[in-house]
Amino acid sequence: MTAPGAPNPAPGTLYVVATPIGNLDDISARALKVLRDVALIAAEDTRHSARLMQHFGIGTPLAACHEHNERDEGGRFLARLLAGEDVALISDAGTPLISDPGYHLVRQARAAGIAVVPVPGACALIAALSAAGLPSDRFIFEGFLPAKAVARRARLEQVKEEPRTLIFYEAPHRILECLEDMRAVFGGERQALLARELSKTFETLKGLPLAELSAWVAADANQQRGECVVLVAGWQAPEGDAVVSAEALRVLDLLLAEMPLKRAAALAAEITGVRKNLLYQLALARQKDA
Ligand code: SAM
């Protein structure tokens, strides 16, 4: 307790520490040092994390900070931080807050003027993206899709024309229906990748168009086990659209005025080199709008 008149201690720091997603060697030297040095570790599941701490010979006390108590119990951790103690926040695996608890505590700590310091490390979505061979300059992370089919499809519809690489987390018992819904909404030709059991014994990264990926998973029950990340290539405007919008559209319009739709589309395709089917679809749309 601070003596009357004595200055209050400076607040402690909240360290947000990433832990491995499988292979324990993936923990960083800095993470181990922080976990050893802090006064308290706020953990998603204390029993789960106790095994990790035991493995690394870390004796720091653990206290529960999970999605059901973090909003209400955050005050306990804040009090310790405000009293000058350092606290580390960890989840069961990977980076806290990424589809894991911690958001409320981090928010409360920042609002209270406490320094929040990330200690980076494993994160399943980043590990999967780094090896997927899909465009990685821009991507979006959608977390877990809704468990119910109708809501899941509705969410997929929302991102159907998203041009950035899409990343999803999925539970193994839903992976097949999830891939089937993706095939139905995005189309079977869209390139995708299933990253399963990353950094573990049965690590598998399989990149295929959605129709083939879904069939491959359906045919092998082993691919429906373990933890998985699904990546889907972003939407691409159909080839030739840019040309269609300028030169080819003018040709198509001229021909449409002179002859039946099918013939106009075929002739326009020959003249412009744009795919006949694409011009046919465009011609139909233009006729409807006329
Ligand atoms: N915070 C974690 C992170 O940084 O990736 C994610 C926690 S979230 C509750 C768990 C989900 O992450 C799993 O259902 C799976 O989608 C993904 N995941 C976690 N570990 C994985 C692994 N080793 N291989 C593939 N996916 C994994």
- 81 and 109 Cβ atoms separated by less than 8 Å: yes
The alpha carbon of 38 and the centre of ligand 1 are apart by a number of angstroms equal to 26
Please determine, for residue 31, whether its predicted confidence score (pLDDT) is greater than 80: yes
Please determine, for residue 238, whether its predicted confidence score (pLDDT) is greater than 70: no
Share of the chain above pLDDT 90, in %: 80
pLDDT band at 104 (very low <50, low <70, confident <90, very high): very high
Q: Which residue did the predictor score with more confidence, 48 or 67?
A: 48
- 23 and 200 Cβ atoms separated by less than 8 Å: yes
Please determine, for residue 47, whether its predicted confidence score (pLDDT) is greater than 50: yes
Mean pLDDT, the chain, rounded, equals 92
- 181 and 188 Cβ atoms separated by less than 8 Å: no
Please determine, for residue 232, whether its predicted confidence score (pLDDT) is greater than 90: yes
Q: What is the mean pLDDT of residues 217-236?
A: 96
CA–CA separation, 29 and 7 (whole Å): 34
Q: Which residue did the predictor score with more confidence, 247 or 232?
A: 232
**Ligand 1 atom nearest to CA at 172:** 14
CA–CA separation, 221 and 229 (whole Å): 17
pLDDT tens digits, 156-193: 999 999 999 999 999 999 999 999 999 999 999 999 99
Residue 92 has a CB neighbour count (10 Å cut-off) of 16
The CA–CA distances, whole Å, from 109 to 87, 94, 100 equal 11, 21, 17
- 190 and 232 Cβ atoms separated by less than 8 Å: yes
CA–CA separation, 37 and 83 (whole Å): 16
**Ligand 1 atom nearest to CA at 171:** 14
Q: Which residue has the tokens 């809501």?
A: 151
The predicted pLDDT at position 241 comes to 59
CA nearest ligand 1 atom 25, residue: 228
The predicted pLDDT at position 3 comes to 53
**Ligand 1 atom nearest to CA at 196:** 25
The predicted pLDDT at position 245 comes to 64
pLDDT band at 1 (very low <50, low <70, confident <90, very high): very low
Global confidence as pTM: 0.83
The β-bridge partners of 41 are: 62, 88
Measured from the CB, is residue 15 less than 6 Å from ligand 1? Answer: no
CA–CA separation, 200 and 102 (whole Å): 25
Measured from the CB, is residue 195 less than 6 Å from ligand 1? Answer: yes
Measured from the CB, is residue 284 less than 6 Å from ligand 1? Answer: no
Please determine, for residue 55, whether its predicted confidence score (pLDDT) is greater than 70: yes
State which of 166, 169, 198, 201 you would mutate to test the pocket of ligand 1, scoring each by most atoms of that ligand within 8 A of its C-beta: 169
Amino acid at the residue 208: L
The predicted pLDDT at position 239 comes to 63
The alpha carbon of 94 and the centre of ligand 1 are apart by a number of angstroms equal to 7
CA nearest ligand 1 atom 16, residue: 169
The DSSP H or E segment spanning 114 is none
CA–CA separation, 46 and 40 (whole Å): 12
The alpha carbon of 40 and the centre of ligand 1 are apart by a number of angstroms equal to 25
Please determine, for residue 240, whether its predicted confidence score (pLDDT) is greater than 60: no
Which DSSP string corresponds to 127-196? HHHHHH-S--SSEEEEEEPPSSHHHHHHHHHHTTT--SEEEEEE-GGGHHHHHHHHHHHH-TTSEEEEEE
Q: What is the mean pLDDT of residues 238-264?
A: 82
Share of the chain above pLDDT 70, in %: 94
pLDDT tens digits, 131-144: 999 999 999 999 99
CA–CA separation, 59 and 53 (whole Å): 7
Please determine, for residue 194, whether its predicted confidence score (pLDDT) is greater than 60: yes
Measured from the CB, is residue 145 less than 6 Å from ligand 1? Answer: no
Structural tokens at position 264: 């106009």
Measured from the CB, is residue 21 less than 6 Å from ligand 1? Answer: yes
Measured from the CB, is residue 204 less than 6 Å from ligand 1? Answer: no
Measured from the CB, is residue 175 less than 6 Å from ligand 1? Answer: no
Structural tokens at position 128: 């999967």
